[in-house]
Amino acid sequence: MKILSINPGSTSTKIALFEDLHSIFVKTLKHKSKDIEKFSNIMDQYEFRKEIIIEFLLEQNIALKDIDAVVGRGGLLKPIEGGVYEVNETMLNDIKFNARADHASNLGAILAHEIADKIMQEHNKKVPSYIVDPVVVDELSDMARFSGHPEIERVSIFHALNQKAVARRYARENKLDYNKLNLIVAHLGGGISVGLHHQGRVIDVNNALNGDGPFSPERTGGLPAAALVDVCFSGKYNKSQMKKFITGKGGFVAYLGTNDAYEVEIRALQENDAKAKKVFDALIYQIIKEIGSVAPIVCGKIDAIILTGGIARAKYVCEEIEKHTKFISPNIKVYPGEDEMEALAEGIYYASKGEIPILEYK
């Protein structure tokens, strides 16, 4: 089964071809600024990006008729349960006209559908198109939605694709049923999300984008509310700048002037930079605290704690987290990095085997 994965970014489109779970290639197609700037919004770029993808495939002697499924990174749709969704007209209409924000990931479903449609038209071969576990996956319990004020509801925005992929991978490797496990999954990257996976559903997770949970290389995480109000009305920032204050200019960026976690690790552990060491340890402290905060929801019955994302490559980070959380579960598994292309293909492969249901977007 040949699966084409597509992950659009702001200035590039990453594509990969898999034969079952074997990677044939992974390629980042970079777009020049002058080409992107021709379009008034991201949605208008889909034809431009589609032609670049098809041109690259032809250059690699990949025949379109040999592709059996196309999967795109899911965009900012309405909240949905996790899983594999076949692209349909309702999804396409929502992503084009009702998306929650203008973001490059919104092109994933459209590009997957357009390329699948081209294969049908040119080769009379029906090829399905899908998305897998977009960032808007929302399986929160009713209790998890309470913030403390009815005008503000906690929402689910997190690294659903990678969190779900590594949770399922852990279950398969140990011949267990993901839908019968209690797992805490900590995605440690540019943003940090800690999710409680209860019987196949992420029933509680911090909003990794908009000021919740641990701080990260470029995000503040949760901030003291009254102090944040004071900053908002200090006259130093407008609304747009405050949003960047929280997401983009927080965390390591604010404390140390960089969003490079590896650089901070080197400064903290090899160059004896006392400030970097303190900030690095504070990041770990907040991750540990977040992991501990969700365990009581299931009475501490945690089958495993999983660490993933780019920062999980740091041995010191993983050792410190394990030292402080092994009382919750001695079973701690590390899947370093984040392979989104593989996660997309895995979702389709296991859905084709009947291990993951294919859901209808309504």
Mean pLDDT score, 28-39: 90
Q: What is the mean pLDDT of residues 300-319?
A: 97
Between helix 315-325 and helix 274-294 the angle, nearest 10°, is 40
pLDDT score of 164: 97
Give the mean model confidence (pLDDT) for residues 207-233: 96
Quickly state the pLDDT bin for 126 (edges 50, 70, 90). Answer: very high
Q: Work out the pLDDT band at 10, boundaries 50, 70, 90.
A: confident
Dihedrals phi, psi of 296, to nearest 5 degrees: -65, -20
Q: Bin 150: left if φ > 0, else alpha if -120 < ψ < 50, else beta.
A: alpha
Looking at residue 174, its pLDDT comes to 97
Q: How far is CA 249 from the centre of its chain?
A: 20
**Looking at residue 298, what is its pLDDT?**
98
209 CB neighbour count, 10 Å cutoff: 16
pLDDT band per the 50, 70, 90 thresholds, residue 155: very high
Averaged pLDDT of the chain: 96
Q: Which domains does the chain have, with CATH numbers?
A: 2-136+341-360 (3.30.420.40), 160-337 (3.30.420.40)
pLDDT score of 161 more than 90? yes
Contact 34, 137 (CB under 8 A): no
Q: Please, is 125 exposed, middle or buried when counting C-beta atoms within 10 Å of its C-beta (0-12, 13-18, 19+)?
A: middle
End-to-end CA, the chain: 27
Phi–psi pair at 67, nearest 5 degrees: -80, 135
Residue 269 has pLDDT above 90, yes or no: yes
Segment 226-234 mean pLDDT = 98
Burial of 278: CB neighbours in 10 Å, binned 0-12, 13-18, 19+: exposed
pLDDT at position 253 over 90: yes
pLDDT, residue 37, reads 87
Q: What is the pLDDT of residue 209?
A: 87
Question: With bands split at pLDDT 50, 70 and 90, how would you rate the model's confidence at 219?
Answer: very high
What's the one-letter identity of residue 247?
T
Mean pLDDT computed over 59-75 = 95
Torsion 194-196-202-206 (CA) sign: negative
Q: How far apart are CA 79 and CA 202, in angstroms?
A: 13
Contact 349, 21 (CB under 8 A): yes
Q: What is the pLDDT of residue 26?
A: 96
